[in-house]
Amino acid sequence: MNFNPNEDTEIDAEFMEKWLGGVEIDSLSPKTLFDLQTLMSHYKDIIVPMDNVKISFPVEGFDTACASVDEKKVFIPTQVLQEGRVDDTIGLVIHELNHIKHSERESVLIKACSNFLMVCLDSIFVKVPDSMLKIAPNDEEYLSLKEIVYRGGFDFNNLLKSEPKTGTEQFFLQCLKGVMLLLNSVEDVRIDSICPPNLKKYIDKLDIYGFGEFKEHYESGMLDEDTLMNLVFRLLFHHKGFVHDVSVDNRFGDIEFIKNSTPKQYIPTLLKEFRNEIKQYCEEVFNSSDIDTPTMGNKTNDYLQMMEESSNEESFDKTLAEDKSFSEDCVRDVEFEDSELNPNRKRDIEKTQYEIKIEEGSTLLEVPSYLKASIDAFKDVDVVDCSEQFTTRHGDIIVANYKTLLIG
Amino acid sequence: MSNNFVIDKTKKEILSTLVRGGKSCLITGATGAGKTTFCYSLADELNMNPVVINCGSTQDARTSLLGYFTLEDGNTKFQESDFLKAIQEPNTLVILDELSRASDDAYNIIFPILDFRRNIRVDEVAKGHEVEVDGSVRFVATANVGIEYSATRTIDRALQDRFMVFNLPYLNKRQMKSYIKKQYDSETAEAVTPLLEVYAYTHKMFGDGKIGSRLSTRAVLDVLPLVTTFTMKDIMETVILSQFSQDSSSIINDANIIREYADSLGIYN
């Protein structure tokens, strides 16, 4: 949006003008915009006075406000202010700062979500694409999405920080975003419900604006189907009190539970409750994705190894140990309905132990037996440089160099 | 010491013991922190008569601290100053208020009184030109030290050596509330809670360098009689915020930063 300060913009600063010392905001010159943003930045001194939070007002690149709890940064698109929505901008600043104050670090959430996603993807069975038939164990016709898509080699934490480089990364990013959106909708409800009333009035006003955009779709029935994305919005506006959604109410309707829980307490319940919608969402993302043909690595499962390495590093760190425990809580006792793509097939995955060498030691990991077979088959692969001499019909000697693959 | 003043118990006892034993003490702290009030309560505690000498008005030091001549029945007569009288009066606690604002001449007069000599030469007095400080007289002084204060200066080293220096910080909001509860009642203490929050906020923001001044303890105590009659918004706008910069040409000023916080407390609802 090109901002023209001379444009007649209708300005809504009803709440702010009550305390602005008699100043009426009747135009949004660049100086006024800057001054308002500077003044609004002081909400960090009110909400998170002990934290060094950086509030930015980007003019492009951000469609919605967001916060990074890990990095203690808040981003509020300048566009909202340019539209004359002064009180709404304050609402956004307050809301995002409340994330910094109350919400769990996204690195912890990503770890828990990725852990959950792995279990989820392992429950979705699809027909093995032709390009992958050669790597399917025992010529299986169906494999889990996890087996098909995940070959390691990337860090889930980096997925949200940089542009995905491959179709596989794009797939995981979409899945992760979907789950994170679900978590965020409940977290928004939680942190807003515990916001002090004098600050909450700005958020309430912002919600009325947000609901205005949602209402038409909701009333038209467009959001009736229990898909993950529909539930994200329905959860939000049900708990904000704008609609009474029976499905949400029956499944995750206890607002007191939300208000009185920490994210680490309610997220495992939330994920378990909406596991099948998440699974369906992942299937849809997969069907619309351009997944790269994966190549079989010669390493053990990177994901499992990554988890194991981090657990070793974290063994003496209470916080990280709690994070790991939270991550495990998110997948404990989670059972998925059979995949629609392969309703008649659900493989019993026999678990077995596999010893992984890590520098000076080794550790035992529990892995599916078929994975162990794959690892065992490939771990002793050796490449040998060979050289042979041949004598031609004319008596010349030639040397042929080639590589030989030896499977021990 | 009367119970109506909030100060660290150990600090209070040390101060009291030192002054009783004849050591002069200098109470430093920000303006409105309650330094002078504390000196009065110290006099009360020691059962002494307080005499306050305002050192900020000692530009003509000899007149202010020693005395002046008047015409009486056709003759000139030397009138001793309050200070000169006080140092000769048994059981007096001389409170040298705002010592950091005193002139060099005033310092030169005060020096010999505070050290082992405990006397001062005053040529104008008839009795041998020397005035002895009574053995039971004690001295305390107050001073504003720091960049926040105008017309003050660093205290002369020689003077500082003659005092034990004690810093009296601003009361925190909890101490303020406790003090108000004792001096007024629980209802007033409760009614003034938002103001105490604003008080604490101005101190934090001042400490962080985000605003140029802060509310003093005295500024809050001064508005207490108003809280039952006027709304907190009226008190904020009329009394409290007038102590902060309010440049009407800009939205960014100290007053608006404090208003923003006051709004979060519901003062502007």
* pLDDT of B13 higher than 60: yes
Q: How many domains does the structure of chain A reveal?
A: 3
The answer to whether A35 touches B251, Cβ cutoff 8 Å, is yes
Residue A150 sits at the vertex; the CA angle it makes with A147 and A156, to the nearest 5 degrees, is 145
Domain closes at, from A50, A72, A102 = A102
Q: Where in chain B is the domain with CATH 3.40.50.300?
A: 9-167
Domain closes at, from A329, A360, A391 = A329
With left for phi above 0 and alpha for psi between -120 and 50, is residue B53 left, alpha or beta? beta
Residue ranges making up the domain that contains A51: 14-102
The verdict on A121 and A239 lying in the same domain is: yes
Task: Give me the helix-helix angle, A318-329 and A302-313, nearest 10°.
Answer: 140
What distance in Å separates the CA atoms of residue A92 and residue A219, rounded to the nearest whole number? 26
Tell whether the torsion through CA atoms of A135, A140, A141 and A144 is positive or negative. Answer: negative
Number of Cβ within 10 Å of residue A319's Cβ equals: 10
CATH, range B9-167: 3.40.50.300
The verdict on A93 and A187 lying in the same domain is: no
Does A364 reside within a domain? yes
Does A2 reside within a domain? no
Q: Is A23 on the interface with B (CB under 8 A)?
A: yes
| Whether B246 and A45 lie within 8 Å, measured CB to CB | no
The verdict on A64 and A87 lying in the same domain is: yes
| Whether B262 and A23 lie within 8 Å, measured CB to CB | no
Matching residue, tokens 């500024």 = B219
Q: Is B139 on the interface with A (CB under 8 A)?
A: no
> For the residues of B158-199, what is the DSSP string, one character each?
HHHHTSEEEE-PPPPHHHHHHHHHHHS-HHHHHHTHHHHHHH
Q: Which residues of B touch A15 (CB under 8 A)?
A: 263
pLDDT in tens, chain A (408 residues): 455 555 678 999 999 999 998 888 888 888 899 999 999 999 999 999 999 999 999 998 888 999 999 999 999 999 999 999 999 999 999 999 999 999 999 989 998 898 899 888 888 888 777 766 666 666 677 778 887 777 665 677 777 677 777 788 888 889 999 999 999 999 999 999 999 999 999 999 999 999 998 999 999 999 999 999 999 999 999 999 999 999 999 999 999 999 999 999 999 999 999 999 999 999 899 888 776 544 333 333 343 344 444 444 444 456 667 777 777 777 776 676 655 444 444 444 455 666 666 666 777 776 666 666 667 666 677 788 888 888 877 788 888 888 887 765
Please count the CA atoms within 13 angstroms of the CA of B195 that sit on its side-chain side: 31
The verdict on A184 and A264 lying in the same domain is: yes
- How many residues are there in chain A? 408
Number of inter-chain CB pairs under 8 A, A vs B: 63
The verdict on A181 and A325 lying in the same domain is: yes
Q: Is B129 on the interface with A (CB under 8 A)?
A: no
Number of Cβ within 10 Å of residue B134's Cβ equals: 15
Backbone φ, ψ for residue A285 (5° rounding): -60, -40
| Whether A39 and B260 lie within 8 Å, measured CB to CB | yes
Q: Which two tokens stand for residue B97?
A: 């208020």
The answer to whether A57 touches A78, Cβ cutoff 8 Å, is yes
Q: Is B207 on the interface with A (CB under 8 A)?
A: no
A85 DSSP 8-state letter: B
Does A335 reside within a domain? no
* pLDDT of B137 higher than 60: yes
Q: CA nearest A300: which of A220, A217, A232, A364?
A: A364
The verdict on A211 and A296 lying in the same domain is: yes
The answer to whether A286 touches A167, Cβ cutoff 8 Å, is no
What distance in Å separates the CA atoms of residue A167 and residue A336, rounded to the nearest whole number? 25
Query: Which of A36, A46, A197 has the CB atom closest to B251's CB atom?
Result: A36
* pLDDT of B249 higher than 80: no
Does A6 reside within a domain? no
> For the residues of B228-245, what is the DSSP string, one character each?
TTS-HHHHIIIIIGGGS-
Question: pLDDT over 90 for what percent of chain B?
Answer: 40
The verdict on A79 and A142 lying in the same domain is: no
Does A138 reside within a domain? yes
When pLDDT is averaged across residues B177-191 and rounded to a whole number, the result is 89
- Tell me the per-residue pLDDT of B161-174, one tens digit each, with 9 for 90 and over: 888 888 888 888 99
Domain closes at, from A329, A364, A393 = A329
Does A1 reside within a domain? no
Alpha carbon distances (Å) from A374 to A1, A235, A296, A368, B205: 54, 43, 10, 10, 62
The verdict on A111 and A79 lying in the same domain is: no
The verdict on A198 and A284 lying in the same domain is: yes
The verdict on A301 and A363 lying in the same domain is: no
| Whether A20 and B266 lie within 8 Å, measured CB to CB | no
- Tell me the per-residue pLDDT of B65-121, one tens digit each, with 9 for 90 and over: 888 888 888 888 888 889 989 999 999 999 999 888 888 888 888 888 888 888 888
Does A59 reside within a domain? yes
Does A185 reside within a domain? yes
| Whether A23 and B205 lie within 8 Å, measured CB to CB | no
The verdict on A272 and A372 lying in the same domain is: no
> For the residues of A295-364, what is the DSSP string, one character each?
---SSS-HHHHHHHHHHHHTTT-HHHHHHHHHHHHTTTT--PPPPTTSTT------EEEEEEEETTEEEE
The verdict on A123 and A262 lying in the same domain is: yes
Interface confidence, given as ipTM, is 0.73
